[in-house]
Amino acid sequence: MGAGSQRSLVLTAVGLLLALTGCGPGSTPGSQSASSATTAADTTAAFLASHWQRPLAPNGPAPARFSSLEATLAPEACGACHPQQYQDWRTALHSHAMSPGLLGQLQSMGADAREDHQACLQCHAPLAEQQEHLVRSLAAGRTLPPLAKGISSAQGLSCAGCHVRKNGRFGPRRLDGTVPASDSVLPHDGWQATDAFEDSRFCAACHQFENDGPSLNGKPLENTYAEWRASRYARENRSCQSCHMPQRKHLWRGIHDPAMVRSGVTVDAVLRSVADGRADAELTIANTGVGHAFPTYVTPRVVVEIGQEDRHGELIAATVERHVIGRDVSLDLTGERADTRLMPDETRRYAYKRPLDPRAAAVAYRITVLPDDFYAKFYRATLSDLEFKAGRPAIRVALRHAENSSYVLFLREAPVGLQQDNRAANAVAPRIQ
Ligand code: HEC
Ligand code: HEC
Ligand code: HEC
Ligand code: HEC
Ligand code: HEC
């Protein structure tokens, strides 16, 4: 550590993140409210400003009347009484937020760099006790077992990170709208019900940079809440939770999940005609159900390919036209080269008009999603710096994950042999992998 380039590489590309001190929703852009609802909205804003005041304060010792199961903040302990939330959370990326890609960077910062850690932990593993665990693990050179009260930095964004402050539980009202009676006796002294858990600003705490935070071309690098706010979903009161936590399930599926992505986009591909030795085709993709830009972050890349295939189903390279959907930023995050993302309800058409190759048997349409494209490039650059040592093994693992997360979202082939009737061509069933 210390020797320039190792730190600088890590901290240039992610360094801008260090600049984000308060992403607190208290000052979230657009958090204005209609005058009749002012009090409720202000209560929510005030609650969230304090709930997400980071660094979070340590919880301190649990009340003596708590059983040891109630006192521990380990997600498995919560899971003993809230099994459904626990099972779902374990499959969600929030539980994997202390990923190799993050850990490698924290390792390169060293055990003493608490402020640098906090710039990442405030979103990835926000409990004060998790930072303590991280610091000790970095000093020991290995991940230590959980500390008192079952807390480990490896738990990422855990139940307690969202629900527990000073040992007290916070959550939404019950689904039937009720809250516990004041004289009811419940585990962990019950909970304090607040509407904030059903509000999109709850998520904005980590999914939206401040207006004065890192931004390119006038758009914050993380702008999900503002994109949602400008969409019809905000007007229709369809919160982040309504799509990402259906029936309050703790799933948070996103760009890494093909089924989730398919639920948000509508794709159509038609071969209009094959005449005079030319193919005339078109692919349409519309953002019909994503509550923000598709994709919202700068890190994924969606590639649309239209081209001709030979009899063996191989694409004929010279015939392929490629289009990218994404927000393309430079590796050092100093410039935006293009922003071709699809805003909510936006439709894009890609026309394809080309001479038919003599080998062509079909026109093929393919959409590939690379959820971690930016990270893969960033990890490759990091590993090419030989002075980057401390976090190397973890970053190698992260690179492998990032390279292996891509999938084919849409694939359709329209034979060009029987193409006189373009309905016949269109009737080819989509082959989705
Ligand atoms: C010994 C069992 C037990 C343990 C352990 C436990 N809980 Fe609970 N929890 C309950 C019960 C029972 C309720 C009350 C449910 C009700 O009355 O609707 C509750 C309520 C809650 C609520 C409010 C639910 C709502 O409708 O808003 C939250 C949030 C919560 N617990 C979070 C946690 C977290 C986080 C942990 C771990 C740090 C945890 N609980 C550990 C039993 C437990
Ligand atoms: C304390 C910070 C924090 C809060 C609050 C938070 N998230 Fe996240 N979220 C993260 C982090 C960090 C990740 C990335 C985890 C990883 O892959 O390392 C993430 C990942 C996600 C993903 C998966 C993205 C993908 O690439 O597939 C979705 C979806 C998501 N969050 C939605 C939400 C929603 C909806 C809410 C509000 C209910 C919310 N988050 C609240 C920090 C947060
Ligand atoms: C404002 C909240 C926030 C802060 C601060 C933050 N991140 Fe993240 N990070 C996220 C979210 C949200 C995602 C998921 C975005 C996506 O889908 O790519 C993410 C994804 C990542 C990923 C890719 C997924 C994974 O876990 O492998 C890495 C690596 C990462 N962050 C590293 C860092 C580092 C290093 C820092 C500190 C310098 C940092 N982050 C600070 C919110 C944050
Ligand atoms: C990223 C923040 C986040 C994390 C992490 C998280 N929750 Fe939640 N939880 C929420 C939100 C937001 C809601 C309310 C969702 C809604 O109302 O649509 C909720 C609701 C709940 C409820 C009430 C459910 C109901 O049906 O009424 C319980 C209980 C709960 N969570 C427990 C847990 C447990 C246990 C864990 C860990 C295994 C956990 N949560 C992890 C944000 C989180
Ligand atoms: C109308 C449904 C809907 C709403 C509302 C919605 N999302 Fe999404 N979200 C999706 C779908 C579908 C995807 C998968 C496609 C994609 O990745 O863009 C997604 C993807 C994501 C991702 C993955 C990262 C990426 O680059 O796309 C994150 C993070 C996320 N949403 C957070 C949020 C937050 C935070 C809010 C509220 C401010 C929100 N979403 C509101 C449907 C929704």
> Using one digit for the tens of pLDDT, what is the confidence trace for 371-392?
999 999 999 999 999 999 999 9
250 lines ligand 4 (CB under 6 A): yes
pLDDT in tens, 398-408: 999 999 999 99
How many angstroms does the Cα of residue 190 sit away from the middle of ligand 1? Answer: 7
Peptide bond into 355 cis (omega under 30): no
Q: Mean pLDDT over all residues of the chain?
A: 90
- Which whole number is the average pLDDT over 40-55? 94
Q: How many CA atoms lie within 13 A of 105 on its CB side?
A: 27
Q: Are 331 and 381 in contact (CB under 8 A)?
A: yes
Dist CA 205 CA 48 (whole Å): 8
Structure tokens at 380: 């490759």
Residue 103 alpha carbon to ligand 5 centre in Å? 25
pLDDT greater than 90 at residue 12? no
To which residue do tokens 């999603």 refer? Answer: 369
Q: Give the least confident one: 161-175, 182-196, 300-314, 410-424.
A: 410-424
What is the spatial distance between Cα 381 and Cα 183, in angstroms, rounded to a whole number? Answer: 59
Q: Are 79 and 68 in contact (CB under 8 A)?
A: no
Q: What is residue 29's predicted lDDT score, i.e. its pLDDT? A: 38
Going by pLDDT thresholds of 50, 70 and 90, the confidence category of residue 37 is low
Residue 21 confidence (pLDDT): 33
Q: What is the mean pLDDT of residues 196-224?
A: 95
Under the banding of pLDDT at 50, 70 and 90, the label for residue 182 is: confident
Residue 8 — pLDDT band, cuts 50, 70, 90?
very low
8 A C-beta contact, residue 251 and residue 95: no
What pLDDT score was predicted for residue 433?
39
**Which structure tokens are listed for 80?**
């003993």
CA of 68 relative to ligand 5 center, distance in Å: 37
> What is the amino acid identity at position 402?
A
- What pLDDT does residue 421 have? 42
224 C-alpha vs ligand 1 centroid, how far in Å? 30
Ligand 3: atom nearest CA of 17 is 38
**pLDDT tens-place string over residues 69-89:** 999 999 999 999 999 999 999
Evaluate if residue 7 carries a pLDDT over 70.
Answer: no
Q: Which of 357, 403, 358 is nearest to 377 (CA)?
A: 403
Neighbours of 388 (CB within 10 A): 22
pLDDT of 158: 98
The pLDDT, as a whole number, for residue 276 is 92
Ligand 4 centroid vs 379 CA: distance in angstroms? 33
Rg (CA), the chain: 25
25 half-sphere exposure, CB direction, 13 A CA radius: 28
**Which amino acid, 340?**
T
For residue 162, the ligand closest to its alpha carbon is 4
pLDDT of residue 71: 97
Q: Which of 17-31, 174-188, 222-236 has the highest mean pLDDT?
A: 222-236
Most confident of 19-33, 353-367, 418-432: 353-367
Question: Cβ < 6 Å from ligand 2: which residues?
Answer: 93-94, 96-97, 99, 123-124, 126, 157, 161-162, 202-203, 205-207, 240-241, 244-245, 252, 254-256, 371
Per the CB < 8 A criterion, the answer to whether 390 and 106 are in contact is: no
Task: Give the closest residue to 13 by CA, choosing from 329, 410, 384.
Answer: 329
pLDDT of 38 reads 64
Q: Which ligand 3 atom is nearest residue 402's CA?
A: 27
Q: Which of 10-19, 86-95, 104-113, 360-369 has the lowest mean pLDDT?
A: 10-19
**Maximum alpha-carbon separation in the chain:** 85
Q: Which atom of ligand 2 is nearest to the CA of 254?
A: 27
Q: What is the pLDDT of residue 418?
A: 52
pLDDT over 70 at 33, yes or no: no
- Indicate which atom in ligand 2 lies nearest the CA of residue 157: 1
Which whole number is the average pLDDT over 359-375?
98
Position 24 pLDDT exceeds 80 = no
Sign of CA dihedral 184, 186, 189, 190: negative
Assess whether the C-beta atom of 205 lies below 6 angstroms from ligand 3: no
Number of C-beta neighbours around residue 177 at 10 A: 8
| Residue 212 pLDDT | 87
CA 41 to chain CA centroid, Å, is 26
Checking if the pLDDT of 36 tops 80, the result is no
Residue 166 has pLDDT above 90, yes or no: yes
Atom of ligand 4 nearest to the CA of 173: 27
Mean pLDDT over 231-259 rounds to 98
Looking at the predicted structure, is the pLDDT value of residue 338 above 80?
yes
| 93-151: pLDDT as tens digits | 999 999 999 999 999 999 999 999 999 999 999 999 999 999 999 999 999 999 999 99
Q: With the C-alpha atoms ordered 87, 88, 92, 94, is the resulting torsion angle positive or negative? A: negative
Which residue in 216, 199, 143, 83 sits closest to 393, CA to CA? Answer: 143
